[in-house]
Amino acid sequence: MMRYAITTITLLLLCITSQSNAQLGIKASIVTGSPNYLPGYVTHIGFNTGLNYKLNDRWRADLSLEMLFRKEKITYLSSSQGSQAPIKLYMNNSLTFISPVTMGVDYRFLKDKIRPFIGLNTGVLSTGIKINGEWYNSYYFAIQPKIGVDIALKENILLDFTMKQTFATKRNLTKHFSYQTIAMQLGLQYYF
């Protein structure tokens, strides 16, 4: 799986560096998302930051880091001293996070002030939970289709609204894990 992600990123970088009329931009957004692997599809809040690179009037490359968090109280059963100790009920605060790091391309349909677009990103998704000061992490291969609209506030400043769905999968010797996250983001993009 990782080989496919590296191949995709390499091909995108080759496309980006071969263009001479491109513009580099930065973006920052507020994000809210709900993963389907947690009971009740609880909402996580976070941010998205990244780089955009205009290849031409229609296409742009996208490098994105997203962090979604949720703090909650959890209840679990555990034996504190191995298998001989009695099992106790614990209540603790936990912090869960979802963090896709992706690279992809967007295609914009219009060149006016309002620019709807579709895109596809691929990369690595990290999930984790912190309980009693210890982190438990997992890493997945992720594909992230998205749809959105950019509204030009000025020539080089855009308001960005994006809806995306992240499909994550991982396989080991005995199990196959997969889940989805649906997220919305609202932010600004600035092009140099």
pLDDT value at residue 143: 94
pLDDT value at residue 20: 45
pLDDT tens digit sequence for 102-159: 999 999 998 889 999 999 999 999 888 887 788 888 888 999 999 999 999 998 899 9
The string of DSSP codes covering the chain is -HHHHHHHHHHHHHHHHT-SS-EEEEEEEEEEEEETTSTT---EEEEEEEEEEE-SSSEEEEEEEEEEEEEEEEEEEE-BTBTTSPPEEEEEEEEEEEEEEEEEEEEES--SSEEEEEEEEEEEEEEEEEETTEEEEEEEEEEEEEEEEEEEEETTEEEEEEEEEEEEEEE-SS-EEEEEEEEEEEEEEEE-
Q: Which one has a higher pLDDT value, 10 or 54?
A: 54
CATH code of domain 2-70+99-191: 2.40.160.20
Q: Give the distance, in angstroms, between the CA of residue 13 and the centroid of all CA atoms in the same chain.
A: 19
pLDDT value at residue 76: 66
Q: Which one has a higher pLDDT value, 184 or 77?
A: 184
User: Does 16 have pLDDT greater than 80?
Assistant: no
Domain map of the chain by residue range? 2-70+99-191
pLDDT value at residue 21: 46
pLDDT tens digit sequence for 145-170: 999 999 999 988 999 999 999 998 87
